[in-house]
Amino acid sequence: MLELGLKVLISYLAGSLNGSLIVGRLSGGVDIRTMGSGNAGGTNALRTQGKLFAFFVMLIDIGKSAVPVLLLPTMELPGIPVDPEISRAWLTLACGGAAVVGHCYPVWFQFAGGKGAATAIGVLIIVAPSLLVPALAVWAGMLILTGYVGLATMAATVALPLYVAASSFAMERELLSNELLWYLVFQALLIVYTHRDNIRRMMQGDEHRLEQAMLFRRRSSEQ
């Protein structure tokens, strides 16, 4: 249990290294939590600071989960032996989940972080890269239909455990039906929760809409 607790803690601390705030400080003290939507995530970084700023933010936010998930589960830490009773699959996903939580609630930045999407991508890149294809398809489809980035992110995240459950059932496999499925359910619940302000703004009609990405908007403007 000592190995589990320490590696999960390290993953959380790595996740707490918020990309937008790090890049902001290196860019002369920019704090995007005081700009735009006030969120310290990649979308707000893009809207308020531009593509280059957002690129480095995404690079950090993806890498800070991918690296712990890739390295920690099989790494023997000084003085901490590898516990043979701990499932490496569960430990891998626990490290990933801790990194996502760290991004959303970073101890280094007063627990005011982003909404978890980029960091969740970093986890999937390592544990299940094939899931990025259906996630991107759902995200792009929802964005084209509605223009809401937050709604597209939530839809893609919620679709993943449903996709995994349906695929495992159809193929009579249990490989993805336990550890990864439960992780994806946790990830979906967390990301929907962190997008609760987006949900409120959509219900009130105040949510920013990326109209240039909307399929029907484009068609109507061309006629």
Domain ranges of the chain: 1-127, 129-223
* Burial of 211 (C-beta count, 10 Å sphere; 0-12/13-18/19+): exposed
Average of pLDDT values for 181-205? Answer: 94
- Neighbour count for residue 201 (Cβ, 10 Å): 16
List Cα–Cα distances, 4 to 51, 60, 74, 91, 194, in angstroms: 38, 24, 11, 7, 26
Residue with tokens 């992780």: 183
pLDDT at 178 over 70: yes
pLDDT at 105 over 60: yes
- Neighbour count for residue 208 (Cβ, 10 Å): 17
Average of pLDDT values for 161-184? Answer: 73
The reported pLDDT for the residue numbered 142 is 94
d(CA 95, CA 55): 24
Which residues, including other chains, have CB under 8 Å from residue 98's CB and lie 6 or more apart?
Answer: 8, 9, 11, 12, 15, 68
pLDDT at 78 over 90: no
The reported pLDDT for the residue numbered 127 is 92
d(CA 135, CA 159): 7
What tens digit of pLDDT does each residue of 110-168 get?
888 889 999 999 999 999 998 999 999 999 999 999 989 999 999 999 999 999 888 76
8 SS3 class: helix
Q: Tell me phi and psi for residue 139, to 5 degrees.
A: -60, -50
Global confidence as pTM? 0.84
Residues 46-85 as b or e (16 or more Cβ within 10 Å = b): bbbbeeebbebbbebbbbbbbbbbbebbeeeeeeeeeeee
End-to-end Cα distance, the chain: 64
